[in-house]
Structures are given as structure tokens and as C-alpha cells.
Amino acid sequence: MAEKRIVLQNCGFIDPEDISSYVENDGFAALAKARKMGPEAVIAEIKASKLKGRGGAGFPCGLKWEMARRASGDEKYLVCNADEGEVGAFKDRYIIQNDPFSLVEGIVIASFAIGAKKAYIYLRAEYHYLRDTLKAAVQQAAERGILQGLEIELKEGAGAYVCGEESALMNSIEGRRGEVRFKPPFPPVSGLFGQPTVINNVETLVNIPRIIWRGAAWFAGIGTKDSAGTKVFSVSGDVEKPGVYELPLGSKLNEVVRELAGANDIKLVQVGGATGSIVTESMLDTPLSYETLLGSGAIIVLNSTRDVIDYVYRTIAFLNEESCGKCTPCREGTEVLAEVLGRLTSGDGFPDDIKTLAELSQAMNISSLCGLGQAAPVPVLDSLKYFKHDYENRIKQSVFLRKVGFA
Ligand SMILES: Cc1cc2nc3c(=O)[nH]c(=O)nc-3n(C[C@H](O)[C@H](O)[C@H](O)COP(=O)(O)O)c2cc1C
């Protein structure tokens, strides 16, 4: 299985510190083309390409841009989400490290299309070391007159996972507490400082110059009917070659984890980070697409020596730590899930625990305010579905040990 590098096409070929090498490789040609086309035509092209957001939620990109362009507001903002706090995700980091100019080009085209004069790049706190690379790329573009009045400001996060969620991210930029907001209104109508705002993931924005340059039909022809283009995956865990791989959407999970990353002993694979779905070895034929299984593109492989319950416990403990606390189902739900799973891992389970985990997960899923609380139960429910025996055995052991006086 070979990769198909569209987003990553320049990685390893251009000098990320020197804009000339980007320009020599057709850099900013798409921007020039976009400016000739005009904002409406650019949006129409992105809509026709069927590009969906690569940050996890998969919202159609062109539609979001159109909403923001049509919304009334004194100012409009474009925000690049480079928070990448997802567990097991490192593809945006790779893109920024190796090809910051494509990101700048995507930001300038998106800002032009929606009518924004100011753009922000919200950078994950732990990626502080990428700050100079990004600043230099923006500075070099400004010196060449490429920005044409667009101001691009870099904002660094403070280490909160939830600030990758778009409304918490906007609060963070505004200097408020990193909590999610009630929706509606949605950001394209009322976002940053109450103005129309488009928030796009790094990978989404890097796709933009490629689409404008080669055309929507070319892009829509890659992938599946409802999942156009490629996806960049970050693969880690029990694999021989962890790393960043780009494949057409619709490629099978097997192709990424076995053929490219070299996994040979697979107990489970979690796709989409901490809140992603868990699948078993028998499901590796599943295509990776918005219709089936995707999320942010973080793929974590666990081999047969791993303890599923312990893994799910650690995941939930992380999400509990990172819950912003605004809504009760997530704040209290992640706490109780972590408590029950923690007891189970330490051999102190009870017969009702499975029922408690399942019922609480369902309640959190339907009543939490944002994706964190809504999706936190996903690994719990999936592990209960595919590894129920592990839970039952752990509970039986606990009951037995209590009975004989060892616990
Ligand atoms: C808890 C949580 C964390 C998120 N973290 C990120 C992130 O680190 N990067 C990202 O691009 N999107 C993240 N998202 C999704 C964003 O809210 C939003 O959908 C995305 O930035 C939109 O860009 P896109 O349409 O280009 O995907 C997160 C969502 C949730 C609920």
C-alpha cells in the first residue's frame, strides 16, 4: 500500500525556514489564482470539492465559509486550530514543522474568501517550540507582500485539551476561561468577539491551496463519494513504524496499521484519539471515512499484552482531568466513570458496574454540552461491546477475592 501525499506533498522537499524554496515549488500560485477568481468563486470551488473539516467533526468546509461570508459583522475572523491536544495526534505538528508556508497560504485564501482582515493561529502550548517556525513563515510572507493587509496573529494555548474545541478556543483567545459556549449561535454567525468566524483545522487549511490549484473535480475524485480527498493519520502504540501517513479516504484500517505502520499483534485499535471508537482485529477491513470511522486521524494500536480496562480507565481519567466543568453530565459523569473503571482495574469491581458504566455513558452522550462529554463514553461503550468478557472476569475475580477475605 502506497501513501498518496497531497497535504504532505512538500514535506521533506522544501526548506521550512525559507520561503524561496516554497515559491520555487509553485508556492502561492494557488493564492494568486484565488485572488483572480474572487471570493464567491473560491467558496463555490471549495464547496464543489466536498472538503470536510479534518479536525474531527467533519463539517463541510465550503458551507462554513459561505455562512461566514454571508453573515453580517463589522469584522470577520479566520482561526486556524493548531491546538492538536488529541491523544495520539501529531499530524498538525508534522505539517507545521515541515511545510508552514502551505498553512499560511491556506489561511490567506480562507481569509480572502470569507472577508477576514485578521486571522489567528491558535497553537497548542506544548508546541511552543514551533512558534518561531510559524512566526518566521508569516513574517517572510508579509515581507513578500503576500498577505495584502491580512494580519496573522499567533496565540498560544495554556495546556487545556478542551481548548481545541472551537468555542472554548475562542474564549481562550479572548482571554476568558477555557470553557465551551452554548450553541447556537455557531461561530460563522457569532464567534470570536461576537463576530462571524471560521475555525479550521491545520490539515483542512493545507488542503485549500491544493484544491484551488488543481480544481474541485480533481479533489472530489479522490476518496469515496462522501469523503473526498486524503487523510493524514498519526499512528502510534504497538507498531513497528509509528509515524504520520497520508492515504486516500476510504482506505482500510488494515492498510494503515499493518501495511504501513507494521503492526503484527493487534488486540485493539482506537481511531480518533481519546474519545475515538475502539475496534478489534477482526474489524481491520473497515474503511477509514466520515461514513464509517475517522475522527481526527489519531490511531493507537494495542497488542495482546495490554489490559483493555486499564487502557479505558487511563483514557477516561484523562478526559475527567480535562473536562472544562461547565456542564454537569461531563463534569460529574467523567468523574464517576473514572471512579468505577479505577476500582475495576484495581480488582475491586461489583456486579452492577457494567450496568452503571453503560447507563451513565448513554446519559452523558445525549446530555453533554460538547464533544468531550458526548464522546467520552465511546471507548467505554465500545470496550463493553467487544471486551465484555474482560469486564465480567475482572468482576468475578473481585467478588471471589472479597468472598474469601482477600479484598
Ligand atoms: C474536546 C474537543 C477537542 C478538540 N480538539 C481539536 C483540536 O485539537 N484540533 C482541531 O482542529 N479540532 C479540534 N476539535 C474540533 C473543533 O471543535 C472544530 O470542530 C474544528 O477545529 C473545526 O475545524 P475543521 O472544520 O477544519 O475540522 C475538538 C473538539 C472537541 C469537542
- Here the cell at position 180 is 465551551
Distances (CA, A) of 268 to 237, 378, 385: 11, 14, 12
CA 86 to ligand 1: nearest atom: 8
pLDDT at 405: 85
Q: Tens of pLDDT along 87-96? A: 999 999 999 9
If one residue of 123, 183, 201 were mutated to test the ligand 1 pocket, choosing by the most ligand atoms within 8 A of its CB, it would be 201
Mean pLDDT across the stretch 396-401?
Answer: 93
Q: Could you tell me the end-to-end alpha-carbon distance of the chain, in angstroms, rounded to an integer? A: 51
User: Cβ–Cβ contacts within 10 Å for residue 298, how many?
Assistant: 23
Task: Determine if ligand 1 sits within 6 Å of the CB of residue 86.
Answer: yes
Q: Which residues does 12 contact at the CB level (< 8 Å), separation at least 6?
A: 98
Mean pLDDT across the stretch 13-42?
Answer: 98
Task: Determine if ligand 1 sits within 6 Å of the CB of residue 255.
Answer: no
Q: What is the DSSP string of 156-204?
A: E--S-GGGGSHHHHHHHHTTS-S----SSSPTTTS-GGGS-EEEEEHHH
pTM over 0.85: yes
**Is pLDDT above 80 for 407?**
no
- Here the cell at position 88 is 495520539
Sign for the CA dihedral angle at 341, 346, 348, 351 comes to positive
CA 204 to ligand 1: nearest atom: 26
What is the rounded CA–CA span in Å between residue 75 and residue 20? 32
Provide, rounded to the nearest whole percent, the portion of the chain with pLDDT above 70.
100
Q: How far is the CA of 49 from the centre of ligand 1 (A)?
A: 21
- Here the cell at position 175 is 482571554
22 by Cβ neighbours in 10 Å (0-12 / 13-18 / 19+) ranks as buried
Ligand 1, atom 10: nearest CA belongs to which residue? 55
pLDDT at 276: 96
pLDDT at 383: 98
What is the rounded CA–CA span in Å between residue 385 and residue 101? 44
**Is pLDDT above 90 for 2?**
no
Q: How far is the CA of 57 from the centre of ligand 1 (A)?
A: 7
**Is pLDDT above 90 for 12?**
yes
Ligand 1, atom 5: nearest CA belongs to which residue? 164
Q: How far is the CA of 231 from the centre of ligand 1 (A)?
A: 15
Q: How far is the CA of 354 from the centre of ligand 1 (A)?
A: 31
pLDDT at 131: 98
pLDDT at 389: 97
Task: Determine if ligand 1 sits within 6 Å of the CB of residue 275.
Answer: no
Residue 155 · residue 122 · CB < 8 Å: yes
**Is pLDDT above 90 for 360?**
yes
221 by Cβ neighbours in 10 Å (0-12 / 13-18 / 19+) ranks as exposed
Q: How far is the CA of 144 from the centre of ligand 1 (A)?
A: 31
CA 375 to ligand 1: nearest atom: 31
Task: Determine if ligand 1 sits within 6 Å of the CB of residue 295.
Answer: no
CA 168 to ligand 1: nearest atom: 17
∠ CA(93), CA(246), CA(64), 5° rounding? 70
Residue 267 · residue 306 · CB < 8 Å: yes
Task: Determine if ligand 1 sits within 6 Å of the CB of residue 187.
Answer: no
Q: How far is the CA of 84 from the centre of ligand 1 (A)?
A: 8
Q: How far is the CA of 380 from the centre of ligand 1 (A)?
A: 21
Mean pLDDT across the stretch 206-212?
Answer: 98
Mean pLDDT across the stretch 369-387?
Answer: 98
Report which of 30, 110, 24, 16 is spatially closest to residue 66, judged by C-alpha positions.
Answer: 110
Ligand 1, atom 14: nearest CA belongs to which residue? 165
What is the rounded CA–CA span in Å between residue 52 and residue 227? 7
CA 370 to ligand 1: nearest atom: 31
Q: Tens of pLDDT along 29-73? A: 999 999 999 999 999 999 999 999 999 999 999 999 999 999 999
What is the rounded CA–CA span in Å between residue 1 and residue 284? 15
Residue 279 zone, left/alpha/beta (φ > 0; ψ -120 to 50; rest): beta
Domains of the chain: 19-220 (3.40.50.11540), 230-302 (3.10.20.600), 308-403 (1.20.1440.230)
Task: Determine if ligand 1 sits within 6 Å of the CB of residue 382.
Answer: no
Amino acid of residue 35: R
Q: What is the DSSP letter of 228?
A: B
Q: Tens of pLDDT along 164-201? A: 999 999 999 999 999 999 999 999 999 999 999 999 99
CA 162 to ligand 1: nearest atom: 1
Crossing angle for the helix pair 131-143 and 100-114, nearest 10 degrees?
60
148 by Cβ neighbours in 10 Å (0-12 / 13-18 / 19+) ranks as exposed
Mean pLDDT across the stretch 231-235?
Answer: 98
Give per-residue burial for 30-62: e unless 16+ CB within 10 Å, then b. Answer: bbeebeebebeebbbbbbbbbbbbbbbebbebb
Mean pLDDT across the stretch 377-383?
Answer: 98
Whether the bond into 209 is cis, omega within 30 of 0: no
Task: Determine if ligand 1 sits within 6 Å of the CB of residue 204.
Answer: yes
CA 64 to ligand 1: nearest atom: 25
Q: How far is the CA of 293 from the centre of ligand 1 (A)?
A: 16
pLDDT at 406: 78
Distances (CA, A) of 4 to 222, 267, 317, 336: 10, 27, 36, 43
**Is pLDDT above 80 for 1?**
no
What is the rounded CA–CA span in Å between residue 98 and residue 13? 9
Half-sphere exposure at residue 96, Cβ-oriented, CA atoms within 13 angstroms = 27
Task: Determine if ligand 1 sits within 6 Å of the CB of residue 121.
Answer: no
Mean pLDDT across the stretch 234-258?
Answer: 98
372 by Cβ neighbours in 10 Å (0-12 / 13-18 / 19+) ranks as buried
